[in-house]
Amino acid sequence: MCVLWRTFKRLRVMPVVSMHDKRGSAGVEFALVLPIYLVILLTIIEGGRLAYSQAALYFAAQEATRFAIVREGNVSDEEIRQFASDRLIGLPENLAVVTVESPINPTVNTSEYTVQISYSFTPIIPYMANDTLTLSASSSGFIAFPPVMPNSGT
């Protein structure tokens, strides 16, 4: 009986841990939710940067095409490239490649300007093994020159 009494006394001295003890649960929940929250937040930021970059490319391509058409072909391809590069607002110009095509069809006296821009998008946090994405935008415009009338000889 004496041995049983000592064992019982030892058990009473030890602190009783309850299954309903909530100390530290907020810290554990925070540690579990924080990585998920950060991944979602950074994905939203990267998605916004990606959408902005694509919109800036489309804007620059459309403005450069309009620039060429309004001047009715009296502009060089280099001037169109420079104009498009100047319209890449918020994007580094050294990562963008601007190409201009302006073939003139002499039989019908027309020209179609096509401005294509390719951009190497680099995410802040690399999610994939490939660190860059290539974004591109294209815009075309058509110019119909006035017909050339032959001299009537009068």
Q: Name all contacts of 99-107 with Cβ < 8 Å and 24+ positions apart.
A: 100/64, 100/68, 102/68, 102/73, 102/77, 104/73
Residues 75-86: pLDDT tens digits?
A: 888 998 999 999
Which residues have C-beta within 8 Å of that of residue 111, sequence separation ≥ 6?
73, 102, 103, 104, 105, 142, 143, 145
13 inside domain: no
CB 80 within 8 A of CB 68: yes
The residue range of the domain holding 69 is 37-144
- pLDDT (tens digit per residue) in 9-51: 666 555 555 666 677 788 889 999 999 999 899 889 989 999 9
Percent residues over pLDDT 70 in the chain: 75
* pLDDT at residue 73 tops 80: no
Q: Name the more confident of 103 and 115.
A: 115
28 inside domain: no
The pLDDT value given to residue 31: 92
Contacts of 7 (CB under 8 A, 6+ apart): none
Q: Is 24 part of a structural domain of the chain?
A: no
For the chain, the domain total comes to 1
